[in-house]
Chain A
């Protein structure tokens, strides 16, 4: 049955910006852990006579996201008033953007395809209603009121619930990459409304594509819920496809995360009319006077860029994915020697301790690995280096152990190998007699004697070489 249908999904994602101050006043934008209604002022409480003054930091962060997503930044942008009554909206209108947002168009590249964007606009968040247990009333907390809020609207380019999740995750990564939002979904810093409909492939009814109504699922606050809710709704829309009356075009649903199901939300009879008009208190912005080219240059690279580059370096797709999401590893890889990037990437994924090493130390370690997985010697060297704060080469010198790679170290290895051979004449004899395991025994002895500071690979090579020479 599913083959007959095409799924059409578009997402509207709200993201709180991590600006210092709120959108239109000087209040601290971080109200975490604060008592209700303590991070407020007359402006964000919408008190009579107060006026909004737009935060340049919020506008800068919005435009930077737009630049990163390839959006068009128009010459003129402005705020508008969006009217509705609700107790958490102090002015009776929200300052939002209607027809001239800061960013238009753009796209997000996913493995499963490209999702075009409609727009990114900036607005102010509302307060919160709190429902005390057992009471018949609600109380209002305005700490959140006035927090700068991005709305990122995708085109209906998403074709499956899994792709919707990927899109969310990718956007999350980009936001964190740009350091414009912490995008912590549990704290409500990133929230999603999803629109889904299913269409019957190839079939037209009355000249139109045969489509189910569009269902909007409100307030999805985790990646998993986005996928789950959409999967549930997708299935329901397919199963009930023929039942929908043609008139019904739009439904609003909520998501019950405990049951994993969606449910219809109470809807008003009349159509919503927000009576948008240009916000007279905030003059329009001439964006040609903003340093947009400079911002463009300052932009960090996007995750998709990192993934491509990491793959080129020889990392697997999985490894590239992990590193693209990990700021620490990414920063390290940017800075280590070109030839060592892939080795260090792999090392850092698997060895948490190695993350504490300096760039120089990592380069020295990587020189000893070359190929294959890190040996016990390497792991030991990392441990020692982290503990002492010394570079691996210093440690090798001090412990009179053997530095595996540089010329000097090779000399030491040669000397040690000579020493090892001279100390174990019977094992050497056994090896010469062709006894299997004798070489391994010698290497083991060597490791023991050097307390693991010798590179077993080099030791093996050197042993083989010197034993060959002795044969002649």
Chain B
């Protein structure tokens, strides 16, 4: 029983359906695992032990009555703290939201619960998803399960670490410029950034609304597909969700790779990439070739502009989305210490103390690019460039079925290594960022390992698809996963 937490979602689902295991035993195993490794990994901000066990028991009753809600009924899953959870504190790992208990549920969480999923807890992240290492959390630093001296990546670092450490069977994260894919790569798990609008953003605390997407982090491609089947689809509460029907992603994984056209963009292999990482990626591309895929070099000419575009649009939207945390509502406020203060003082001091350095940096950048006299030079231009970036991908997907690139230029870096250098930190997202302004889907799949300080560190490969091309990238990811057959697990 103690090893149940090692199961994949697909395995657990099968065994639950066959009556070999119960959700209660599975959930207990996960909670024991958390108790055991959490002091080292620190992936969770909140573990919902009591409610998880209750939900597991309810799930078992449904199974006994022959009325499971879905394939995932009784499967323990955790979510990033950016997801609003009804009656459960939701902080986005930021002080300014500490103590905030939403009276509503994020649509993605609601869909999971409606499918009978057991909610294990809320996962750590960079505050407001600002960062690539989870060091920007106002509450704790999550460690990489492969090497506890290293970061798990970010901003969905808690989600990636928890999945890698078997502290849940799967997790939800969010991705604005790589926040699912980069930590997935650094922690050796699968992370899917779906097409913009494929999964409802309702109830997920916004970072940059036109770039944010919600997606799964899981131990396998099949698991990611199973979660996607539950959370994807139109939502009347999110006007940007797409109406296209949701495919059965898990049924489209077995197609072989013969004749599949794989594009490798030259711009992504230019410079600054770790040599060992490069080798892992090249080996994976070879693997795809050996599976029958046709490899072609392609060009995404506006790649460097995609970065510039992202670093204007993203802070602009961040500065706007963070306006509602005015130091009067929600968590931290100087009003709690001193009741009578002039309004402006409340704004300045609460926001000044409540937000971390990275949030303030982005608010300042974003406010600047939206200011009168600068709007045309920055924001407007960035919007135009965004169209060109999209066009790059449109053109490329006329020639190839998927595009493969590295996820991160380096494996997991040491805690503290980049925290004083925001530019270095931003550069760790250099291969993932251009995908978000384009809106297309991309997945990070474990591709191999590099060795650092005598420890194996995972490296992921990014597989990018056209709009609503989740089925094809999941298919490629699944086939690559099967062919590579990586068996290593972190030792904790």
A is bound by B: yes
The distance from the CB of A153 to the nearest CB of chain B, in whole angstroms, is 19
Number of interface residues of A (CB under 8 A): 30
Q: Are A282 and B90 in contact (CB under 8 A)?
A: no
A42 to B370, Cβ gap below 8 A? no
- Which residue in A91, A136, A273, A280 is a CB contact (below 8 Å) of B210? A280
Does A46 make an interface contact (CB < 8 A)?
yes
Contacts of A283 in B (CB 8 A): 239-240
Task: Provide the bound-state CA to CA distance between A52 and B106, in Å.
Answer: 14
Query: Whole-angstrom distance between the alpha carbons of A92 and B340 in the complex?
Result: 22
B316 surroundings in chain A (CB, below 8 A):
277
Tell me if A54 counts as interface (CB < 8 A to partner B): yes
Contact present for B320 and A50 (CB under 8 Å): no
Across-interface contacts of A282 in B (CB, < 8 A)? 239
Q: For residue A106, which residues in chain B have a CB less than 8 angstroms away from its CB?
A: none
Considering the complex, which residues of chain A in the window 44-59 have a beta carbon less than 8 Å from any beta carbon of chain B?
Answer: 46-54
CB–CB B324/A92 < 8 A = yes
When the two chains form their complex, are residues B326 and A85 in contact, meaning their CB atoms are under 8 A apart? Answer: yes
Cross-chain contact B238 with A277 (CB below 8 angstroms) = no
Interface-central residue, A49, A275, A277, by most chain B CB under 10 Å? A49
Q: Closest chain B residue to A47 by CB distance?
A: B102
- Cross-chain contact A83 with B204 (CB below 8 angstroms): no
A81-B320, A92-B324, A92-B326 known; A277-B379 Cβ under 8 A: yes
Chain B residues contacting A93 (CB-CB under 8 Å) are: 320, 323
B340 to chain A, nearest CB (A): 6
A90 to B106, CA, bound (A): 19
A135 (CB) vs chain B CBs: closest residue: B340
Q: Is the CB of A48 within 8 A of B237?
A: no
Closest Cβ of chain B to A123, distance in Å, is 16
Contact A281 B106 (CB under 8 A): no
Question: How would you classify the secondary structure of chain A's contact residues: helix, strand, loop or mixed?
Answer: loop
Are B90's CB and A42's CB within 8 A? no
Report chain B residues within 8 Å CB of A273.
371-372
- Shortest Cβ distance from A434 into chain B, in angstroms? 90
Bound-state Cα–Cα, A136 to B338, Å: 13
Q: Which residue of B lies closest to A52 (CB)?
A: B239
User: Is B347 at the interface (CB under 8 A from chain A)?
Assistant: yes
Q: Quick one: which of A106-142 are within 8 Å of B by CB? A: 136-137
The contact size tier of chain B is 35 or more
With beta carbons under 8 angstroms apart, the residue of A49, A87, A92, A136 that contacts B206 is A49
B270 lies within 8 A of chain A by Cβ: no
Query: Are the CB atoms of A49 and B239 closer together than 8 Å?
Result: no
- Indicate which residue in A46, A48, A52, A278 contacts B100 across the interface (CB closer than 8 Å): A48
How many angstroms between the C-alpha atoms of A87 and B238 in the bound complex?
26
The answer to whether B324 touches A90, judged by C-beta atoms less than 8 angstroms apart, is: yes
Digit string of B379-416 for contact with A (CB within 8 Å is 1, else 0)? 10001000000000000000000000000000000000
CB distance from B207 to the nearest CB of A (A): 11
Known: A49-B204, A51-B201, A275-B370. A83 touches B320 (CB 8 A): yes
A280 touches B317 (CB 8 A): yes
A207: shortest Cβ distance to chain B, in Å? 25
Please name all residues of chain B whose beta carbon is closer than 8 Å to the beta carbon of A46 when the two chains form the complex.
324
One digit per residue, 1 when the CB lies within 8 angstroms of any chain A CB and 0 when it does not, for chain B 327-346 equals 01110000000001001000
User: From residue B175, how far is it (CB to closest CB) to chain A in Å?
Assistant: 16
A48-B92, A277-B379 known; A53-B100 Cβ under 8 A? no
Q: Mark A261-281, 1 if CB is under 8 A from B, else 0.
A: 000000000010101111011
Q: How close is A42's CB to chain B, nearest CB, in angstroms?
A: 5
B209 interface residue (CB < 8 Å to A) = yes
In the complex, the answer to whether A49 meets B202 with C-beta atoms within 8 Å is yes
| A85-B343 Cα distance, complex, nearest whole Å | 10
A85–B209 CB distance below 8 A: no
CB of B205 within 8 Å of the partner chain: yes
Chain A residues with Cβ below 8 Å from B379 are 277
B323 & A280 in contact (Cβ 8 Å cutoff): no
Known: A91-B324, A273-B371, A277-B320. A48 touches B330 (CB 8 A): yes
Known: A42-B103, A273-B372, A280-B317. A51 touches B238 (CB 8 A): yes
Known contacts A42-B102, A277-B379; is-contact A53 B97 (Cβ 8 Å): no
Among A47, A53, A92, contact of B239 (Cβ-Cβ < 8 Å): A53
A289 to chain B, nearest CB (A): 14
B370 vs chain A, min Cβ distance (A): 4
- The answer to whether B201 touches A277, judged by C-beta atoms less than 8 angstroms apart, is no
CB neighbours of A47 from chain B (8 A):
84, 102, 104, 324
B216 within 8 A of A: no
Query: Can you list, as one digit per residue, whether each of B228-255 has a CB less than 8 Å from chain A (1) or not (0)?
Result: 0000000011111000000000000000
Answer yes or no: B375 CB below 8 A from chain A CBs. Answer: yes
User: 1/0 per position for A28-50, CB-CB distance to B under 8 A?
Assistant: 00000000000000100011111
Contact yes or no, A53 B84, CB < 8 A: no
Q: Which residues of A contact B92 (CB under 8 A)?
A: 48
Given A48-B206, A49-B201, 14 other A-B residues pairs in contact with their CB atoms under 8 A: A48-B324, A48-B330, A49-B204, A51-B238, A81-B320, A91-B323, A92-B326, A93-B323, A136-B340, A275-B372, A275-B375, A277-B317, A280-B208, A281-B239
Instruction: Name 7 A/B residue pairs within 8 A (Cβ), A-sorted.
Output: A51-B202, A81-B320, A83-B320, A275-B371, A277-B379, A278-B383, A281-B240
Nearest 5 pairs of A and B residues by beta carbon: A92-B323, A280-B210, A275-B370, A280-B209, A49-B203
